[in-house]
Amino acid sequence: MSALSVSRQNSFGVIEFKYVHSPKSVILHAVFFDLRYSVSCLDLEEIMAERGVKIEHTALNRWVVKFAPLIAARAQARKRPTAASWRMDETYIRVKGKRTYLYRAVDRADQTLDFLLSERRDLSAARRFFKRAISTNGVPDRIAIDKSSANLAGLQAVNVILKFTGKGRTIKVRQVKYPNNILEQDHRFTKRITAPMPGFKAFHSAAATIAGIETAHMIRKGQVATNGATAFQTFTKLVT
Protein backbone atom coordinates (compact mmCIF):
# COMPACT_ATOMS: atom_id res chain seq x y z
CA MET A 1 0.00 0.00 0.00
CA SER A 2 1.38 3.43 -0.96
CA ALA A 3 2.14 6.19 1.51
CA LEU A 4 -0.66 8.28 0.03
CA SER A 5 -3.18 5.45 0.40
CA VAL A 6 -2.26 5.06 4.06
CA SER A 7 -2.47 8.83 4.47
CA ARG A 8 -5.98 8.91 3.03
CA GLN A 9 -7.12 6.30 5.51
CA ASN A 10 -5.83 8.56 8.29
CA SER A 11 -6.77 11.92 6.77
CA PHE A 12 -8.55 13.14 9.90
CA GLY A 13 -5.82 12.22 12.38
CA VAL A 14 -3.38 14.68 13.88
CA ILE A 15 -0.33 15.52 11.77
CA GLU A 16 2.54 15.26 14.23
CA PHE A 17 5.70 17.34 14.00
CA LYS A 18 7.58 15.37 16.61
CA TYR A 19 11.19 14.35 16.10
CA VAL A 20 11.93 17.11 13.58
CA HIS A 21 14.57 19.64 14.52
CA SER A 22 12.98 22.73 13.01
CA PRO A 23 9.93 24.81 13.95
CA LYS A 24 6.64 23.81 12.39
CA SER A 25 6.30 27.21 10.67
CA VAL A 26 9.70 26.82 8.99
CA ILE A 27 8.87 23.34 7.75
CA LEU A 28 5.52 24.42 6.32
CA HIS A 29 6.99 27.48 4.60
CA ALA A 30 9.77 25.45 3.00
CA VAL A 31 7.51 22.59 1.92
CA PHE A 32 4.86 24.91 0.49
CA PHE A 33 7.32 26.97 -1.56
CA ASP A 34 8.99 23.81 -2.84
CA LEU A 35 5.65 22.40 -4.02
CA ARG A 36 4.06 25.57 -5.31
CA TYR A 37 6.84 27.41 -7.15
CA SER A 38 9.27 26.50 -9.88
CA VAL A 39 12.48 26.78 -7.85
CA SER A 40 15.37 24.43 -7.27
CA CYS A 41 16.31 23.20 -3.81
CA LEU A 42 19.40 25.41 -3.87
CA ASP A 43 17.29 28.43 -4.79
CA LEU A 44 14.93 27.64 -1.93
CA GLU A 45 17.86 27.36 0.47
CA GLU A 46 18.88 30.88 -0.59
CA ILE A 47 15.34 32.22 -0.24
CA MET A 48 15.00 30.82 3.27
CA ALA A 49 18.48 32.10 4.18
CA GLU A 50 17.39 35.60 3.12
CA ARG A 51 14.68 35.25 5.77
CA GLY A 52 17.24 34.24 8.36
CA VAL A 53 16.39 30.53 8.24
CA LYS A 54 19.04 27.95 7.41
CA ILE A 55 17.87 24.67 5.90
CA GLU A 56 19.56 21.95 3.88
CA HIS A 57 18.01 20.44 0.79
CA THR A 58 18.30 16.96 2.30
CA ALA A 59 16.12 18.06 5.21
CA LEU A 60 13.65 19.64 2.79
CA ASN A 61 13.37 16.38 0.86
CA ARG A 62 12.66 14.49 4.09
CA TRP A 63 9.98 17.00 5.07
CA VAL A 64 8.25 16.74 1.69
CA VAL A 65 8.22 12.93 1.79
CA LYS A 66 6.92 12.93 5.37
CA PHE A 67 4.30 15.67 5.27
CA ALA A 68 3.13 16.16 1.65
CA PRO A 69 1.08 12.90 1.46
CA LEU A 70 -0.60 13.68 4.80
CA ILE A 71 -1.57 17.19 3.68
CA ALA A 72 -2.69 15.87 0.28
CA ALA A 73 -5.03 13.39 1.95
CA ARG A 74 -6.65 16.21 3.90
CA ALA A 75 -7.04 18.32 0.76
CA GLN A 76 -8.86 15.44 -0.93
CA ALA A 77 -11.18 15.06 2.05
CA ARG A 78 -11.94 18.80 2.21
CA LYS A 79 -12.09 19.79 -1.45
CA ARG A 80 -15.24 21.24 -2.96
CA PRO A 81 -17.73 18.91 -4.75
CA THR A 82 -16.81 18.09 -8.34
CA ALA A 83 -18.86 17.53 -11.50
CA ALA A 84 -19.94 14.12 -12.83
CA SER A 85 -18.30 14.54 -16.25
CA TRP A 86 -14.63 13.55 -16.13
CA ARG A 87 -11.57 13.71 -18.36
CA MET A 88 -8.73 11.27 -17.71
CA ASP A 89 -5.23 11.11 -19.18
CA GLU A 90 -1.68 10.32 -18.15
CA THR A 91 1.68 12.01 -18.51
CA TYR A 92 5.13 10.82 -17.54
CA ILE A 93 7.53 11.66 -14.72
CA ARG A 94 11.12 10.42 -14.71
CA VAL A 95 12.31 8.48 -11.66
CA LYS A 96 15.92 7.28 -11.65
CA GLY A 97 16.07 8.29 -15.30
CA LYS A 98 13.17 6.03 -16.31
CA ARG A 99 9.62 6.94 -17.20
CA THR A 100 6.86 6.46 -14.66
CA TYR A 101 3.28 7.41 -15.40
CA LEU A 102 1.16 10.02 -13.68
CA TYR A 103 -2.54 9.25 -14.09
CA ARG A 104 -4.73 12.32 -13.58
CA ALA A 105 -8.39 13.22 -13.93
CA VAL A 106 -10.24 16.53 -13.89
CA ASP A 107 -13.91 17.35 -14.24
CA ARG A 108 -15.45 19.53 -16.97
CA ALA A 109 -14.57 22.66 -14.96
CA ASP A 110 -10.87 21.65 -14.72
CA GLN A 111 -11.19 20.73 -11.04
CA THR A 112 -8.72 18.05 -9.97
CA LEU A 113 -10.39 14.76 -9.13
CA ASP A 114 -7.49 12.44 -8.37
CA PHE A 115 -4.00 11.39 -9.41
CA LEU A 116 -1.83 8.29 -9.21
CA LEU A 117 1.84 7.74 -9.97
CA SER A 118 2.48 4.28 -11.39
CA GLU A 119 5.63 2.49 -12.45
CA ARG A 120 3.69 0.95 -15.33
CA ARG A 121 1.18 2.12 -17.90
CA ASP A 122 -1.15 -0.86 -18.19
CA LEU A 123 -4.57 -2.29 -17.40
CA SER A 124 -3.79 -2.84 -13.73
CA ALA A 125 -2.65 0.76 -13.22
CA ALA A 126 -5.65 2.21 -15.09
CA ARG A 127 -8.10 0.08 -13.12
CA ARG A 128 -6.44 1.02 -9.84
CA PHE A 129 -6.64 4.69 -10.73
CA PHE A 130 -10.32 4.59 -11.70
CA LYS A 131 -11.26 2.69 -8.54
CA ARG A 132 -9.39 5.18 -6.37
CA ALA A 133 -10.87 8.22 -8.13
CA ILE A 134 -14.37 6.80 -7.73
CA SER A 135 -13.85 6.00 -4.05
CA THR A 136 -12.84 9.64 -3.50
CA ASN A 137 -15.32 11.44 -5.78
CA GLY A 138 -18.22 9.04 -6.36
CA VAL A 139 -19.32 7.41 -9.61
CA PRO A 140 -19.31 9.84 -12.56
CA ASP A 141 -21.86 9.87 -15.38
CA ARG A 142 -19.21 9.80 -18.09
CA ILE A 143 -15.45 9.78 -18.62
CA ALA A 144 -13.55 10.99 -21.69
CA ILE A 145 -10.34 9.08 -22.38
CA ASP A 146 -7.88 8.84 -25.25
CA LYS A 147 -7.38 5.86 -27.54
CA SER A 148 -5.33 3.90 -24.99
CA SER A 149 -6.53 0.30 -24.94
CA ALA A 150 -5.29 -0.11 -21.36
CA ASN A 151 -7.37 2.84 -20.12
CA LEU A 152 -10.43 1.54 -21.94
CA ALA A 153 -9.96 -1.96 -20.51
CA GLY A 154 -9.46 -0.54 -17.02
CA LEU A 155 -12.67 1.46 -17.24
CA GLN A 156 -14.57 -1.54 -18.64
CA ALA A 157 -13.35 -3.62 -15.69
CA VAL A 158 -14.67 -0.99 -13.30
CA ASN A 159 -18.00 -0.96 -15.15
CA VAL A 160 -18.32 -4.71 -14.67
CA ILE A 161 -17.90 -4.24 -10.93
CA LEU A 162 -20.42 -1.38 -10.92
CA LYS A 163 -22.94 -3.39 -12.89
CA PHE A 164 -23.12 -6.03 -10.21
CA THR A 165 -22.54 -3.91 -7.11
CA GLY A 166 -23.81 -0.45 -7.98
CA LYS A 167 -27.50 -1.07 -8.76
CA GLY A 168 -26.71 -1.62 -12.42
CA ARG A 169 -25.37 1.90 -12.98
CA THR A 170 -22.32 2.12 -15.24
CA ILE A 171 -20.11 4.90 -16.58
CA LYS A 172 -20.49 6.16 -20.15
CA VAL A 173 -17.16 6.08 -21.97
CA ARG A 174 -16.17 8.59 -24.62
CA GLN A 175 -12.98 7.51 -26.35
CA VAL A 176 -11.49 9.90 -28.92
CA LYS A 177 -7.96 10.66 -30.02
CA TYR A 178 -7.65 14.16 -28.52
CA PRO A 179 -10.39 14.54 -25.89
CA ASN A 180 -8.39 16.08 -23.11
CA ASN A 181 -7.04 19.48 -24.12
CA ILE A 182 -8.07 20.88 -20.73
CA LEU A 183 -6.17 18.10 -18.99
CA GLU A 184 -3.13 18.49 -21.23
CA GLN A 185 -2.98 22.14 -20.19
CA ASP A 186 -3.39 21.14 -16.56
CA HIS A 187 -0.43 18.74 -16.78
CA ARG A 188 1.81 21.74 -17.40
CA PHE A 189 1.62 22.94 -13.81
CA THR A 190 3.16 19.71 -12.54
CA LYS A 191 5.77 19.71 -15.29
CA ARG A 192 6.72 23.31 -14.54
CA ILE A 193 7.22 22.63 -10.83
CA THR A 194 9.24 19.44 -11.33
CA ALA A 195 11.46 20.88 -14.11
CA PRO A 196 14.04 22.59 -11.81
CA MET A 197 14.22 19.62 -9.46
CA PRO A 198 17.40 17.55 -9.67
CA GLY A 199 15.50 14.38 -10.55
CA PHE A 200 13.75 11.82 -8.41
CA LYS A 201 15.96 9.04 -7.08
CA ALA A 202 13.19 6.90 -5.55
CA PHE A 203 9.61 6.13 -6.51
CA HIS A 204 8.17 6.80 -3.04
CA SER A 205 9.73 10.27 -2.89
CA ALA A 206 8.43 11.06 -6.37
CA ALA A 207 4.91 9.96 -5.38
CA ALA A 208 5.01 12.05 -2.20
CA THR A 209 6.25 15.13 -4.05
CA ILE A 210 3.63 14.78 -6.78
CA ALA A 211 0.92 14.51 -4.11
CA GLY A 212 2.11 17.79 -2.64
CA ILE A 213 2.33 19.53 -6.01
CA GLU A 214 -1.21 18.42 -6.86
CA THR A 215 -2.40 19.78 -3.50
CA ALA A 216 -0.80 23.16 -4.15
CA HIS A 217 -2.43 23.17 -7.58
CA MET A 218 -5.85 22.38 -6.09
CA ILE A 219 -5.48 25.30 -3.69
CA ARG A 220 -4.47 27.54 -6.60
CA LYS A 221 -7.61 26.49 -8.48
CA GLY A 222 -9.82 27.30 -5.50
CA GLN A 223 -10.84 23.73 -4.76
CA VAL A 224 -10.16 24.09 -1.04
CA ALA A 225 -12.18 26.74 0.80
CA THR A 226 -9.97 29.70 1.68
CA ASN A 227 -12.35 32.01 3.57
CA GLY A 228 -10.20 34.91 2.45
CA ALA A 229 -6.90 33.27 3.41
CA THR A 230 -3.81 33.25 1.21
CA ALA A 231 -2.68 30.08 -0.55
CA PHE A 232 -0.02 29.46 2.09
CA GLN A 233 -2.48 30.04 4.94
CA THR A 234 -4.89 27.60 3.30
CA PHE A 235 -2.09 25.06 3.00
CA THR A 236 -1.22 25.38 6.70
CA LYS A 237 -4.89 25.04 7.70
CA LEU A 238 -4.88 21.59 6.13
CA VAL A 239 -2.47 20.55 8.86
CA THR A 240 -4.93 21.37 11.67
Per residue in 117-151, pLDDT (tens digit) is 999 999 999 999 999 999 999 999 999 998 899 99
pLDDT tens digit string along 83-116?
A: 999 999 999 999 999 999 999 999 999 999 999 9
Pick the CATH number of 85-186 from 1.25.40.10, 3.40.50.1000, 3.40.50.300, 3.30.420.10: 3.30.420.10
Helices then strands, each counted (H, E), the chain: 9, 5
Picking from 92, 46, 62, the residue whose alpha carbon sits closest to that of residue 184 is 92
Can you give the residue ranges of every domain in the chain? 3-80+201-237, 85-186
Q: Which of 69, 41, 47 is nearest to 193 (CA)?
A: 41
The mean pLDDT of the chain is 90
pLDDT the model gives residue 222: 95
Please state, in angstroms and rounded to a whole number, the distance separating the CA atoms of residues 85 and 117.
Answer: 22
Predicted confidence (pLDDT) per residue in 20-59, tens digit: 888 999 999 999 999 999 988 888 888 888 888 888 888 9
Nearest partner of 73 among 162, 136, 29, judged by Cα = 136
| 19 pLDDT higher than 90 | no
pLDDT of residue 156: 96
pTM: 0.90
CA distance linking residue 55 with residue 22, whole number of Å: 9
pLDDT tens-digit map of 143-183: 999 889 999 999 999 999 998 886 678 999 998 876 567 78
What pLDDT, on the 0 to 100 scale, is given for residue 16?
A: 86
Q: Is the per-residue pLDDT at 8 higher than 60? A: no
6 has a pLDDT exceeding 70: no
